[in-house]
Chains A and B, each alone.
Chain A
């Protein structure tokens, strides 16, 4: 019961933050949205900020689980990147309020939230770094390349979330994949890998 309550409060914070911006949200807003008593909120969280950080952790863990599950099994690095990006974008589309909270609101929610935002990018940075081993010129790539690629992908997703264009996000998958893979593999192989990934996306049931 306690866990259900916690998740309900988290969902409420995510929704309120998405709608009015984290700065404006009050505990009263959250409890009203969640349909719980004020006491119940404070049984679960010390403060609005505490609740925000928990929301971030919750969303980041869920998204990462999906990315790892999708990417982990595949042998080919390019396919892993494709699968990982696909899973990430799918999560964003399914949980726009949580995604927005993590990617948009986090930067205005204090240093602890920013630290978590950084950490979420770090997971992707690690995945991309593996590309240096399979790249013909891995040794010459700029040191900050992964940081820049992940920053770019996040920025594009963030922009769409910020203006509420969530439905437009899945269509970005091929170009985001190409953008990410090209520095390691070259334009042609990157495009081929992206096309393979789109093929997979289309062949999913209900897609």
Chain B
């Protein structure tokens, strides 16, 4: 098991020790099921197995890269049988897609929450970018899975990757509201796409180079870059440098 497997597991397994689960059907003691017969309701076991397979894939990909990961790696990490793997997924690719979707759902949730907590749009953007950078920096294996390994995991994943980046556009498009005609004239249909593409390019580069410790220091530059077309450079810089 990897040193970082704890952090991989806590995001992908909703570790009951850190995040209490409300449902009475999901008691914490059963988070790690022993193999074999245990008489538990089928759906419960099934859901838990699926999560463990996803976490198992993430650990395997972190260790071996996407190409080097085998189903044996995954099932060993997840402590389930090969047969169980195939009950949930048709292939390694499918399992990867599920892992990718899980990571992205988590990231999306954090960004959405941080963004939504701010009243003013510029501060909301800052909070959202910060949440994204914090997550990626705290989970370097998941960052790598979703931004580096995703690109070699087949066209279905690449499509999701592209869509995920484009899904950031509305956060910035919201900044057009209330702007003067003059400022709006300086924006184009592709402004948000370019801003998002530029931002992700900076982030992705550092993840590719295994320099995730640098991610959080990008915050001021990213905030200034993305807010400038809407607020002007002076105002954008002020928001960027705020503590």
The residues of A that contact B152 with a CB separation of less than 8 Å are: 23, 108
* Given A108-B152, A148-B202: A179 in contact with B220 (beta carbons within 8 A): no
Q: How far is the CA of A140 from the CA of B232 in the complex (A)?
A: 13
Contact of B194 among A140, A143, A156, A174 (CB under 8 A): A156
Whether B162 is near chain A, meaning CB under 8 Å from some CB there, is yes
Would you give the 0/1 interface string for A172-207, flagging 1 where the beta carbon is closer than 8 Å to chain B? 101110110011000100010000000000000000
Would you give the 0/1 interface string for A134-153, flagging 1 where the beta carbon is closer than 8 Å to chain B? 00010010111101111111
Would you give the 0/1 interface string for B215-243, flagging 1 where the beta carbon is closer than 8 Å to chain A? 00010111011001100010001001000
Instruction: Tell me the dominant secondary structure on chain A's binding face.
Output: helix
* Given A108-B152, A147-B205: A179 in contact with B233 (beta carbons within 8 A): no
Contact B191 A179 (CB under 8 A): yes
Whether A114 is near chain B, meaning CB under 8 Å from some CB there, is yes
Contact B205 A155 (CB under 8 A): no
Whether A133 is near chain B, meaning CB under 8 Å from some CB there, is no
Q: How far is the CA of A147 from the CA of B166 in the complex (A)?
A: 19
Interface residues of B in 156-198 (CB under 8 A from A): 158, 162, 165-166, 183, 185-186, 188-191, 193-198
The residues of B that contact A191 with a CB separation of less than 8 Å are: 186
Q: How far is the CA of A144 from the CA of B204 in the complex (A)?
A: 13
Q: How far is the CA of A121 from the CA of B135 in the complex (A)?
A: 27
The residues of B that contact A176 with a CB separation of less than 8 Å are: 190, 194
Closest approach, in angstroms, between the C-beta of A100 and any C-beta of chain B? 13
A-B contact count (CB 8 A): 98
Contact of A151 among B197, B218, B221 (CB under 8 A): B197
The residues of A that contact B45 with a CB separation of less than 8 Å are: none
Closest approach, in angstroms, between the C-beta of B200 and any C-beta of chain A? 7
Interface centre among B186, B191, B193, B201 (most CB of A within 10 A): B201
Whether A154 is near chain B, meaning CB under 8 Å from some CB there, is yes
Whether A118 is near chain B, meaning CB under 8 Å from some CB there, is yes
Contact B188 A183 (CB under 8 A): no
Contact B190 A142 (CB under 8 A): no
Given contacts A142-B240, A154-B201, list 14 more A-B pairs with CB under 8 A: A108-B152, A137-B233, A140-B233, A142-B220, A148-B199, A149-B198, A152-B195, A156-B190, A156-B197, A162-B162, A178-B188, A179-B188, A182-B229, A187-B186
Residues of A within 8 A of B (CB): 21, 23, 107-108, 114, 118, 137, 140, 142-145, 147-156, 158-159, 162, 172, 174-176, 178-179, 182-183, 187, 191
Residues of B within 8 A of A (CB): 151-152, 154-155, 158, 162, 165-166, 183, 185-186, 188-191, 193-202, 205, 208, 218, 220-222, 224-225, 228-229, 233, 237, 240
